[in-house]
């Protein structure tokens, strides 16, 4: 599988490239945002590792531009342990983030986890329906009626988890473990950001309040429309 690695630090770029190649991935690199946007369109990578602090065009803007045409999984690299940065990145459509300094082994593990979920979804070849919602897992396609909704890989997995068990409440822990793995350090804020994105996209497509919060317990799809 092909990874696009975007970072302006040549030493870090080389270190991460070697770690990814040892994990048998093909790696394409870019040193700035404009090159990253061009490479993403031309090379169609399976996943993008994207630094936020790029010169001229930062990682947030790169993510915005890529999301116009692609739902490729994106992992942000950030030099600051800043919750605002992380939440903004997730709201723009990132699937995960890693804070610098980090272990290349940790990053490779995150990459593997996301690509494993993506591959599993393709192999499943099932269609899920829940009220007006239709999820074509093999095509990574989400629709409300005739309206197609663009979802990131993580948003799609999250919605699929809820749609598979409509009317059943799933806790934050259950959702985090199912999507990121039991050993992940993903915070509740990260999950909430993805849920907020999914809810907003469903609402814009005409399904208001599709996901209910059961306070102190978790989340479920609206039972009256299943």
Angle of the 59-67 helix axis to the 33-43 helix axis, nearest 10: 30
Point out the domain boundary residue: 118, 147, 166.
Answer: 118
CATH number for the domain that contains residue 192 = 1.10.10.10
CATH number for the domain that contains residue 51 = 3.40.50.2300
Q: How far apart are CA 222 and CA 18, in angstroms?
A: 46
pLDDT given for residue 161 in this prediction: 85
Q: How far apart are CA 64 and CA 61, in angstroms?
A: 5
Greater confidence (11 vs 166) lies with: 11
CA proximity to 53, closest of 11, 18, 17, 9: 9
Contact in structure between 26 and 1 (CB atoms under 8 Å): yes
pLDDT bin (cut points 50, 70, 90) of residue 224 is low
CA proximity to 54, closest of 125, 5, 102: 5
Burial zone of 22 (CB within 10 Å; 0-12 exposed, 13-18 middle, 19+ buried): exposed
Minimum mean pLDDT range among 53-57, 67-71, 99-103, 106-110: 67-71
Point out the domain boundary residue: 118, 134, 162.
Answer: 118
Whether residues 175 and 104 share a domain: the answer is no
pLDDT given for residue 123 in this prediction: 46
- In what helix (H) or strand (E) does residue 200 lie, and over which residues does it extend? helix 188-204
Is residue 124's pLDDT more than 70? no
| Mean pLDDT, the chain, integer | 85
Greater confidence (192 vs 48) lies with: 48
Report the percent of the chain where pLDDT is more than 90.
Answer: 32
Is residue 126's pLDDT more than 80? no
pLDDT bin (cut points 50, 70, 90) of residue 82 is low
Greater confidence (123 vs 193) lies with: 193
Contact in structure between 118 and 153 (CB atoms under 8 Å): yes
Q: How far apart are CA 43 and CA 202, in angstroms?
A: 30
Residue numbers of the domain that contains 99: 2-118
Give 33-74 pLDDT, tens digit per residue.
Answer: 999 999 998 888 999 999 998 988 999 999 989 988 888 899
Angle of the 188-204 helix axis to the 172-180 helix axis, nearest 10: 90
């Amino acid at each position: 599988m092909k990874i696009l690695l975007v970072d302006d630090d040549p030493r870090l770029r080389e270190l991460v490239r070697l770690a990814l190649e040892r994990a048998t991935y093909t790696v394409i690199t870019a040193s700035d945002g404009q090159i990253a946007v061009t490479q993403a369109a031309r090379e169609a990578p399976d996943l993008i590792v994207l630094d936020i602090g790029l010169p001229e065009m930062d990682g947030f803007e790169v993510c915005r531009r890529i999301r116009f045409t692609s739902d490729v999984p994106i992992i942000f690299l950030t030099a600051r342990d800043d919750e605002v940065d992380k939440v903004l990145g997730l709201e723009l459509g990132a699937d995960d983030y890693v804070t610098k300094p980090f272990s290349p082994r940790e990053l490779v593990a995150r990459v593997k986890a996301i690509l494993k979920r993506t591959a599993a979804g393709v192999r499943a070849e099932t269609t899920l329906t829940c009220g007006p919602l239709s999820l074509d897992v093999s095509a990574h396609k989400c629709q409300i009626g005739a309206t197609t909704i663009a979802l990131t890989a993580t948003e799609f997995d999250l919605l699929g988890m809820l749609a598979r068990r409509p009317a059943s409440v799933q806790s934050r822990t259950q959702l985090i473990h199912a999507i990121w793995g039991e050993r992940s350090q993903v915070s509740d804020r990260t999950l909430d950001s993805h849920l907020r994105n999914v809810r907003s996209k469903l609402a814009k497509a005409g399904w208001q309040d599709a996901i209910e919060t059961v306070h102190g317990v978790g989340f479920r799809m609206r039972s009256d429309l299943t």
